[in-house]
Amino acid sequence: MLNLKEFLDNLSFEVDSNAETTGALKEDSFFECFTDYLIEAGELDTADRCYFVKKGIKIDGYGGDPIDSENCLNVIVCDYSSSNEIENVYKNDIENVCKRSTNFISKCLDKSFLNELDNSSPEYGFADMIRIRWEFIEKIKVIFITNKSLSIRKTEFEPIPVNGINAEFICWDLNRLQQYINSGKEREEISIDLPNYGGSISALQAFGIDSPFKSYLCVMPGKTLANIYEKWGNRLLEKNVRVFLQAKVKVNKGIRKTIEKEPNMFFGYNNGITATASEIEYAVTQHGVAISKLVDFQIVNGGQTTASIYDAKKRGINLECVNVQMKLSVVKEEISKEIVPKISEFANSQNKVSSADFFSNHPFHVVIEDFSRRIIAPPKKGSTLQTKWFYERARGQYAEAKSQSNTPSERKKFDAINPRSQLVKKTDLAIVMNTFRGFPHIVSKGADKNFSNFSDEIKKLWKEDKENNLKFNEQYFKSAMCRVLIFRTLQKLVSGQDWYEGGYRRNIVTYAISKLQLILASKGKRINYQKIWGQQYIPEEMEEFLIYISKITLDHLVNTPPGNSNVTEYAKTEKCWEEFKKVEIELPSNSSKFLISKSRDSEILKEGEKKQEFINEIDLQKQVINYGGSFWAKVLEYSSQNNLLTQRDWTLLNSATAIPRKIPASEKDFKMLMKLLERARKRGFNN
């Protein structure tokens, strides 16, 4: 595990590499890299850059529209240091910076302040949004991010009232970020001391001696649940369910009626909630088990119930008689990745959640990861070095792979073969692929929402292709990495243009490339990914055309329609994309330098599928043969005892017991053997 200085070095390298790749300022790169972790940790749903400094005022960004975040206004402020040494940050420093951010919020309610701002700037859009949304805003969170170390370990800061609403300060320093990343968890742990929220909860043990985890049937007072949700919000919802079901929790009319009219019947009428924790603290009383603490608490089913109870609290409804049944599973950390998704899946069965909904574990990632480790990219112009595009299926894989290098020369070699500029994370790929699919408004909504949309498309394609497994082949991987290259190249190009004054870069890039795809589709043309893969850069003619489209894109984005002055939020709407589709842009005369015909592109795709089909056949044969005759004998014995076989099945399995002396005769036999094995496993065979 890295010490704090090594962690700072890694973070600095990530920030510097991202700045170099995208052409961004280091402060902007720091904001992007750090907030990506906060989105992953569940602290934010999205993060939009909005840098503004004036005497007594400072902000660096915000977490989207408050109405999309449970009416919570999320403001982000940065304290970035370019030093190679660990610097300290003190309580007074944080409070001063956060006070400057609350000054900005207060100023936004003064129309004369808005008149001082450039109405095409990010700060104007954000300020105007605060003014328009103020009557709906119920909470304010000021999130302070820094690559310094908080010298006093105090996580709670005194709130500051802003026009009747208390602004809560949350500090993410170098230590907290390191702790989160080292935990290996997909979100930051939520630890709840129940006495602070209304008191301990009653529970009944519901597990046997042989159970791999402990389960309890609990009575959760409605008031306690509402208090917990008020503090933690959607972070309570198990992340996979939140992301992939787009669990924008709504108030259920039936639940609301019960709370208002028959609160004492709530326990009987409502299905309750299903939750997990990694640890609990409890005492055994004369009335049974009393749970006082929940560590890593997550609600995997019952988000609507929870939100409805919280809504009742906000409206002043008395919750004293409201009790909620809760099934609580206490799952140790070492088995949580295997068990918790299954609890989530089965608990949400009424929502038709399939195993593929838990997309972080989807085999698509495994396939892309495998290609990224095997496929070597051609050397770039002026170089003889071949490199790889490193796909990070799980957080920390890149750093872990690099740490396997024991000497400086080995680490240097790793960096040369796997340059950080060619590191591609899951969310990176989702952003790029949805851009090329023509969904710039979805991309603009942020990493979580975009990733959910992308996962839906992949699940559909995977299901269609599951039998043959041909679509996601080497050609798919190469063209996907070319798309990443195009996206990142345009980011850097936009940053260097005279007309670019900062802000909206991701919106510009995703809209410009989506527009290019639309233009090409209307002309029966496709990007020549084979050429781009072969030279590992995009042709100059393509760069020029993308810059041209990007300037038109910026003009479109900043000219927002009446009543929608926030460019960032406008870019998230389908209306923005529909209007941009209407803008006429002609292909340049030199476009043949980077394009091919639709028919040629189809031929390339078919060639890729044909090659993959051959690879699949070889892999299937290897798998069947590597199991060996004794293994197939056990499959035969189990299947026979459980009446799973026809006479033809029995004959095929019996012949397989002679492997490797006797090999199955045809590809059909290899496939059938694997189907017989799958059938046996579904009926309980385990070897």
What is the pLDDT of the chain when averaged over all its residues?
Answer: 87
* pLDDT over threshold 60, residue 342: no
Left if phi > 0, otherwise alpha if psi is -120 to 50, otherwise beta: which for 536?
A: left
595-597 and 525-527 beta bridge pairing: antiparallel
* pLDDT over threshold 50, residue 319: yes
> In DSSP terms, which residues pair with 144 in a beta bridge?
77, 171
Q: Which residue is associated with the tokens 């608490």?
A: 297
* pLDDT over threshold 60, residue 344: no
The residue that leads in pLDDT, 148 or 614, is 148
The residue that leads in pLDDT, 523 or 344, is 523
> Mean pLDDT throughout 495-510?
94
160-162 and 165-172 beta bridge pairing: antiparallel
- Which of 19-28, 65-74, 510-519, 664-673 is predicted least confidently? 664-673
pLDDT at residue 286, as a whole number? 80
- Which of 31-35, 337-341, 559-563, 671-675 is predicted least confidently? 337-341
Condensed to tens digits (0 to 9), the pLDDT of residues 35-64 reads 999 988 888 889 999 999 999 999 999 999
Q: Using pLDDT thresholds of 50, 70 and 90, give the confidence band for residue 333.
A: low
Percent of the chain, pLDDT > 70? 91
Condensed to tens digits (0 to 9), the pLDDT of residues 199-208 reads 999 999 888 7
Is 0.95 surpassed by the pTM of this model? Answer: no
pLDDT at residue 287, as a whole number? 77
Q: Using pLDDT thresholds of 50, 70 and 90, give the confidence band for residue 615.
A: confident
Nearest-angstrom CA–CA distance, 638 and 643 = 9
> Mean pLDDT throughout 412-434?
94
Query: Which tokens in the block code for residue 566?
Result: 């926030």
Q: How far is CA 71 from the centre of its chain?
A: 22
* Residue burial 539-551, b: 16+ Cβ < 10 Å; e: rest: bebbbebbbebbb
149-150 and 88-89 beta bridge pairing: parallel
pLDDT at residue 353, as a whole number? 37
Q: Angle of helix 222-232 relative to helix 303-314, nearest 10 degrees?
A: 90
pLDDT at residue 443, as a whole number? 96
Condensed to tens digits (0 to 9), the pLDDT of residues 553-587 reads 999 999 999 878 889 999 999 999 999 999 999 99
> What 3-state DSSP class applies to 345?
helix
- Of 177-181, 233-237, 441-445, give the range with the top mean pLDDT: 441-445
* pLDDT over threshold 60, residue 487: yes
> What 3-state DSSP class applies to 397?
helix
pLDDT at residue 323, as a whole number? 94
Condensed to tens digits (0 to 9), the pLDDT of residues 365-388 reads 989 999 999 999 999 888 888 999
* pLDDT over threshold 50, residue 244: no
Q: Using pLDDT thresholds of 50, 70 and 90, give the confidence band for residue 449.
A: confident
Q: Using pLDDT thresholds of 50, 70 and 90, give the confidence band for residue 544.
A: very high
Question: DSSP labels for 200-258?
Answer: -EEEEE---TT-SSEEEEEEEEHHHHHHHHHHHGGGGB-HHHHHHTT------HHHHHH
The domain limits of the chain are 4-183, 191-352, 363-594, 605-682
The residue that leads in pLDDT, 654 or 469, is 654
Nearest-angstrom CA–CA distance, 320 and 576 = 47
* pLDDT over threshold 80, residue 152: no
Nearest-angstrom CA–CA distance, 506 and 590 = 27
* pLDDT over threshold 70, residue 107: yes
> Mean pLDDT throughout 157-178?
89
